[in-house]
Amino acid sequence: MRACGIIVKRNKPEALALAKKAIAWLEKRGIKVLLDNEVAEKLGHPHHLEKDAIPSQAEMLIVLGGDGTLLSVARLKGIETIPILGINVGSLGFLTETYKEEMLQVLEKVVAGEFETDKRLMLEATIYRGGKAVERNTVLNDIVINKGALARIIDLETYIDGGYLTTFKADGLILSTPTGSTAYSLAAGGPILYPSLNTIIMNPICPHTLTNRPLVLPDSVVVKVVLKSVNQDVHITLVGQAERPLRAEDVVEAKKAGTHIHLIRSPFKTYFELLRTKLRWGER
């Protein structure tokens, strides 16, 4: 390995301290470290560039932060070509599954080529207004359409591969990848899916009809959601970070993206151990 990028949760001193530790370890082995401009300035490091340019020049990426930091990294251009090692310096850490205490041990194996990755499905979300695409984004976790705090139940007309499914009368709708199945979808009563599955979860939020339940679909389908409610405060949120207002008759299209990301597995734990420890299964 010749070059490794490091993305850091900038406002977390613990993450910056870990970055220093990782930089020293990598550079001692002759591996060039690439940082974004702001972090490089904080750490006094000479090799820096725009954050969006890091994936194109690195052979691997280390993310020091929480799941939110990794979700933001998943939107970087070219990120699908390199393995990503997430080190948890946040709270839960489903995506950044490697503990900070394990960092150097895991890096030893990764640099030696002794690692496996999980290929994670991503969704492409397109918003159409008046028949024209006004915004397109790629998301790792979920697409959420929901009403504002004071809005009434909203009507969401849904189609699968052009065929009418139903009109959900609900507080909103979640379209989730398996990666996102342990996030908002789980809180809304959705299933936990093994992260490497090629499926999409459609999960209504507080549906008025109690027989409306989460639906697991193959990733080959195209989902279209039409907002039928007029004069309502409705928003779309992408991976819990980018929020946009929606208007009546706006169409949200969700389908498998043309790219994936590759997350390096921790060699010291399985996904099921993550479920036990993070969700506290078996505890009373």
User: Cα 146 vs. chain centroid, distance in angstroms?
Assistant: 18
* Contact between residue 200 and residue 177 where contact means Cβ atoms under 8 Å apart: yes
Alpha-carbon gap, residue 243 to 235, rounded angstroms:
7
Mean pLDDT of the chain: 92
What is the four-CA torsion angle of 202, 207, 209, 211, rounded to 10 degrees? 40
Q: Which residues of 154-165 are buried (b: 16+ CB within 10 A; e: fewer)?
A: bbbbbbbeeeeb
Instruction: Kindly report, residue by residue over 74-96, the tens digit of the pLDDT.
Output: 988 889 989 999 999 877 778 88
* Contact between residue 96 and residue 70 where contact means Cβ atoms under 8 Å apart: yes
pLDDT at 199: 97
Examine the residue annotation and report whether 67 is marked as an active-site residue of this protein: yes
pLDDT at 226: 98
Find the catalytic residue in 36, 52, 67, 142. Answer: 67
Alpha-carbon gap, residue 85 to 5, rounded angstroms:
10
Instruction: Find the mean pLDDT for residues 13-41.
Output: 94
pLDDT at 27: 96
* Contact between residue 160 and residue 223 where contact means Cβ atoms under 8 Å apart: yes
Instruction: Kindly report, residue by residue over 177-220, the tens digit of the pLDDT.
Output: 999 999 999 999 999 999 999 999 999 999 999 899 999 999 99
What is the four-CA torsion angle of 95, 100, 106, 110, rounded to 10 degrees? 60
Categorize the per-residue pLDDT at 241 as very low, low, confident or very high, splitting at 50, 70 and 90. Answer: low
Instruction: Kindly report, residue by residue over 160-174, the tens digit of the pLDDT.
Output: 999 999 999 999 999
pLDDT at 240: 63
Choose the most confident range, by mean pLDDT, from 8-17, 43-52, 122-131.
122-131
pLDDT at 278: 81
Instruction: Find the mean pLDDT for residues 128-140.
Output: 94
All domains of the chain in start order, with CATH: 3-116+265-278 (3.40.50.10330), 123-259 (2.60.200.30)
pLDDT at 281: 81
Burial class (CB in 10 A: 0-12, 13-18, 19+), 85: buried
Side-chain half-sphere of 278: how many Cα atoms within 13 Å? 21
